[in-house]
Structure 1
Amino acid sequence: MNDRKEKKTKRYRPNVAAIILSSKYPEKVEFFIASRSDVRDAWQFPQGGIDEGESPKEALFRELKEEIGTDEVEIVAEFPEWVSYDFPEMIAKKMYPYDGQRQKYFLVRLKPGAKINLETEVPEFVQYTFVPYGKIFDFITYFKRPIYKKVLEYFRKKGYL
């Protein structure tokens, strides 16, 4: 008799994430972070799902327009691999049938004159700020910290930050 439980294959939602640098980059390195409208005190980088037939870059620009009201950015660099995380229990039910997200990260710079507008059709964020590298983790929600650290460290080692 086989007592092993069948291992459930996890399902990850394809997703893009934008690490946005202010238009003052590279002279001044400061990061855009925003507080979610649906989870109190949950600060993060903008991110969103990749639609069927859409490339990660197409999704990046669409999601930025939908979430922060502008797609006026230039891509500085791309994280070379996909990274995954599991949703915490409080979010998992809302995101069913997915167990987590599989993300492609882009480091982008706001173009001079780009206007951020959080009052989008479906507001994702209630406020935003720009912070230096050393302050990011004072804000970021706990379950995103390991991936953010991995991705940011990569961009630092490559000389972008």
Structure 2
Amino acid sequence: MARYEDLPYRTCVGMMLMNAAGLVFIGRRAGGIEHVDESHVWQMPQGGVDPGEDTWAAAKRELYEETNVRSVEKLAEVADWLVYDIPRTIAGRAWKGRYRGQRQKWYAVRFTGNDDEINVASPGGHKAEFVSWRWEPMKNLPDLIVPFKRPVYERVVKEFAKLASA
């Protein structure tokens, strides 16, 4: 197995889905070895970018695969790639030990549909990644994510804060 320091980052996208009131979709993860307690099991939709896939296309695909949502309007994106490392204690078990973390391109979108479009139980015919969901004030997001992803969420909130009341 490669040394932790030599492992690459998995290329991913993240989506901040906001409703008309400026609240953000968060889903309660169905599971994962990275979850250390019941308080930090919430996250925004995110997922991998396929080889050759455009990040915006990947973001819309991942959003649909995790939430069933297609009714969105693009609002903004974080110009930089945001990076986090997974803890060394789980690096060998997450993603089959192939990555040390993720490099993510983040997008903010306005949800233009109705809440009944959201279906985390059987989203877009894919395996459920969330067991429940809710709308949450943007400022609360960093406190709901696993601690090692918190700096990314803090940056995403900072970048998109002006959209919460737009």
Question: TM-score range, shorter-chain basis?
Answer: 0.7 to 0.9
**1:90 & 1:73 partners in 2: Cα distance?**
37
Instruction: Show CA shifts across 1:48-80 (max 9, x none).
Output: 000011100110111111111122211110000
Determine the structure 1 residue equivalent to 2:114: 113
Q: How many residues align?
A: 150
Taking a change above 3 Å as real, the CA distance of residues 34 and 62 of structure 1, as seen in their structure-2 partners, is same
Instruction: Show CA shifts across 1:10-42 (max 9, x none).
Output: 3000000001101x1xxx221111111013631
Instruction: Show CA shifts across 1:83-109 (max 9, x none).
Output: 111112464212120110000000111
* 1:17 maps to amino acid: G
Larger % of helix: which? 2
Runs of 4+ in 1 over 4 A off after TM superposition: none
Determine the structure 1 residue equivalent to 2:49: 50
Once the two structures are overlaid, the 10-residue window that deviates more, 114-123 or 88-97, is 88-97
Taking a change above 3 Å as real, the CA distance of residues 89 and 43 of structure 1, as seen in their structure-2 partners, is farther
Structure 2 residues without counterparts, runs of 5 or longer: none
12, 15, 39: which one aligns with 1:15: 12
1:29 and 2:22 matched: yes
152, 158, 163: which one aligns with 1:160: 163
Q: Which structure 2 residues correspond to residues 63-102 of structure 1 after superposition, within 5 A?
A: 63-89=62-88, 91-92=90-91, 93-95=93-95, 96-102=97-103
Determine the structure 1 residue equivalent to 2:133: 128
Identity value in percent:
36
Deviation of 1:138 after TM superposition, in Å, equals 3.9
1:142 and 2:147 matched: yes
Instruction: Show CA shifts across 1:114-139 (max 9, x none).
Output: 61001222110001111112332342
**2:156 & 2:57 partners in 1: Cα distance?**
20
Structure number, greater radius of gyration: 1
Deviation of 1:43 after TM superposition, in Å, equals 0.7
**TM-score (structure 2 length as normaliser):** 0.82
Look up the SS of the partner of 2:113 in the other structure: coil
* 2:30 maps to amino acid: S
1:151 and 2:144 matched: no
* 2:46 maps to amino acid: Q
Taking a change above 3 Å as real, the CA distance of residues 145 and 53 of structure 1, as seen in their structure-2 partners, is same
- The RMSD of aligned alpha carbons is 2.0
Structure 1 residues without counterparts, runs of 5 or longer: 1-5
**1:7 & 1:89 partners in 2: Cα distance?**
7
